């Protein structure tokens, strides 16, 4: 049984919401969550509430960026060899660009 917990607005979080996704959808969601630096719960709630996702640079986010950029490089090499560009790859590239742009602004 899941333990009750309080959110930032002092409300009890005692309800559980779950849904099924395909392995590909799960992988895509996991990438977006890692790049955000948020927990999966916080990421999904912010997206559902149409709130901005503010990425705060930390070692975990930097590691996720490095790993995702390596995956993008492998995908680009595959495309160069005659593969197709899929929409998920383009979305991940856009998210990485947004995060990197935000981190650059933050450091100036």
Question: Tens of pLDDT along 64-104?
Answer: 989 999 989 888 888 877 777 888 888 999 888 888 887 66
Q: What is the pTM of this model?
A: 0.71
| 55-75 tens-digit pLDDT | 888 888 889 989 999 989 888
Most confident of 1-10, 22-31, 74-83, 95-104: 22-31
Going by C-beta distance under 8 Å and a sequence separation of 6 or more, which residues neighbour residue 53? 36, 38, 43, 46, 47
Dihedral sign for Cα atoms in the order 63, 65, 67, 70? negative
């Amino acid at each position: 049984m899941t333990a009750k917990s309080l959110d930032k607005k002092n409300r009890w979080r005692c309800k559980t919401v779950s849904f099924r996704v395909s392995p590909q959808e799960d992988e895509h969601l996991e990438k977006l969550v890692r790049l955000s630096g948020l927990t999966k719960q916080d990421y999904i709630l912010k997206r559902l509430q149409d709130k901005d996702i503010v990425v705060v640079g930390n070692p975990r986010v930097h590691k996720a960026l490095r790993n995702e950029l390596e995956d993008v490089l492998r995908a680009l090499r595959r495309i160069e060899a005659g593969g197709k560009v899929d929409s998920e790859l383009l979305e991940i590239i856009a998210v990485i660009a947004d995060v990197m742009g935000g981190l650059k602004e933050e450091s100036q």
